[in-house]
Amino acid sequence: MFRVTALAVVSIIVLMFASSLLAGEHEIGVFVGDTRYDGTSALTLGAGYEYQWSATAGIGLLFEYVTGDRHIREYVFGLPFYIHPYGGLRLCVAPLYISEKEDDNTVARGAVRAGAAYAIEAGNFSITPQINFDFIHNEAYTVYGLGFGYRF
């Protein structure tokens, strides 16, 4: 777990310094939502960063903490690729690394996320309703909620 956290922190720092050399916009944000699968529900809290190098494309990092009905704790790390086709609409595809702790066992798995969001902006701040689908093996998890961001 320490290696993944260290990798995420180093990646954010590298992205921030590398991106400062290029003209672009940055956005940091937090996420509050719900993860649903097979009738179960889990509180999802997250944080993310996006570097938008053009008006239509960006890359970022995301972290989510998921805790739910079955006393499962999951940590989700991702490297999302964003497309901004029109206005506040944002489409996302991301490879994910999921570390799940159930009872005393820790399981690591990979997944793919596909999602859509629409930012409602007020100056540098935004509120973004979003829906994502995480595909793990032959299963799809639905993650939805609100993001609160700051663009600089």
Per the structure, how many domains does the chain have? 1
- Amino acid sitting at position 70: R
Q: What CATH number should be reported for the domain holding residue 80?
A: 2.40.160.20
Question: Residue-wise pLDDT tens for the chain (152 aa)?
Answer: 566 666 666 666 666 655 455 567 899 999 999 999 888 899 999 999 999 988 899 999 999 999 987 657 889 999 999 999 998 999 999 999 999 876 778 888 899 999 999 999 999 999 999 999 999 988 999 999 999 999 99
- The Cα 45–Cα 33 span in angstroms is 6
Q: What is the DSSP letter of 119?
A: -
pTM, full prediction: 0.79
Is 150 within 8 Å of 124 (Cβ atoms)?
Answer: yes
Distance, CA of 80 to CA of 61 (rounded, Å): 6
Domain around 112: 2-151
pLDDT of residue 85: 95
For the chain, what percentages of helix, strand and coil (3-state, to nearest 5) are there? 10, 70, 20
